[in-house]
């Protein structure tokens, strides 16, 4: 079953729980204090699950849009920066969070580098995504 049929938030929630079983994927020390972008005021509220949710989201985005690099993912996780009055400007998300998450997903053999174009999902990662999508659809 395809990941495109399932609602993204359902797939990401189930995938985040599955990623907790991988020993290579765990939140870096001090990451509960990291903001997800410079224009944010606070770190994420759900600090226990945030790292796994972000890794699951990155894995899904790479599968959907891959090959994709860190810069395009920063744009995807960006938002609007508002400094006082005036117009909003687009701003990128945190590159460190994305880079470390990608490195952990590569160590877990779910992502792989593709020439000089970015990252793609390995067959093992595709199998995991498709299997979880099928389980969600059956429920």
One-letter-per-residue 3-state SS of 27-66:
CCCCHHHCCCCCCCCCCCCCHHHHHHHHHHHHHHHHHHHC
Answer whether residue 113 is part of any domain. yes
Distance CA 37, CA 15 (A): 23
Q: Give the pLDDT confidence of 32-51 residue by residue, as tens digits.
A: 778 777 777 777 777 778 88
Distance CA 25, CA 102 (A): 10
Distance CA 88, CA 78 (A): 13
Answer whether residue 3 is part of any domain. no
Average pLDDT over residues 8-25: 90
Answer whether residue 20 is part of any domain. yes
Answer whether residue 1 is part of any domain. no
Determine the straight-line distance between the first and last CA of the chain, rounded to whole angstroms: 13
pLDDT attached to residue 29: 86
Answer whether residue 117 is part of any domain. yes
Answer whether residue 2 is part of any domain. no
- Structural domain range at position 22: 8-138
Count the domains in the chain: 1
What is the pTM (predicted TM-score) of this model?
Answer: 0.89
Please report, for the domain that includes residue 21, its CATH number: 1.10.10.10
Q: Within 13 A of 34's CA, how many CA atoms are on the CB side?
A: 18
């Amino acid at each position: 079953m395809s990941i495109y049929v399932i609602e993204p938030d359902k797939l990401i929630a189930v995938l985040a729980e599955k990623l907790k079983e991988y020993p290579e994927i765990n939140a870096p020390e001090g990451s509960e204090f990291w903001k997800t972008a410079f224009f944010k005021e606070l770190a994420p509220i759900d600090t226990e699950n945030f790292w796994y949710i972000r890794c699951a989201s990155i894995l899904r985005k790479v599968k959907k849009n891959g090959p994709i690099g860190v810069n395009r993912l920063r744009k995807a996780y960006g938002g609007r920066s508002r400094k006082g009055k005036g117009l909003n400007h687009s701003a990128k998300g945190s590159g460190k969070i994305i880079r470390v998450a990608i490195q952990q997903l590569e160590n877990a053999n779910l992502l792989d580098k593709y020439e000089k174009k970015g990252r793609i999902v390995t067959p093992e990662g595709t199998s995991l995504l498709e299997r979880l999508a099928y389980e969600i659809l059956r429920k």
